[in-house]
Amino acid sequence: MLKTMALTGAMLMMTGCLFTVDSDHRSGAASWNEHDVARIVRGQTSESWVRTSFGEPMRTTVFEDGTQVWHYTNTAEEDTEVGLFLLFHIDVEREVRQDLSIEFSQGVVTDYWVKERRS
């Protein structure tokens, strides 16, 4: 019984030494942040303020009625490596992409939304 407990205890202590974790986080050039998005007011914020605060949009969609949607994107990548001695090596990569879309009519913001995608 004592031998089994000692062996179990030794195995449990070794499990803490078996895994190594290395994590790296990289962010792309951010074109916007949540603080600036919170300052957008529907029906009041102008195109010029958005252009000054966020820069040129990455993409613009123009509809027949003159409504425009400006699109901005932020990306971040996370790379995590997990190893078990030299036997196993797992590399997990994850990308987080945030898309900000701002809709304008007659030079004023009418709507905006943020979509976040993880892959």
Is this prediction's pTM over 0.85?
no
Question: What integer is the mean pLDDT of 84-99?
Answer: 74
Residue 17 burial (C-beta neighbours within 10 Å; 0-12, 13-18, 19+): exposed
What confidence tens digit (pLDDT) does each residue in 9-62 have? 656 555 554 455 666 666 666 667 889 999 999 999 999 999 999 999 999 999
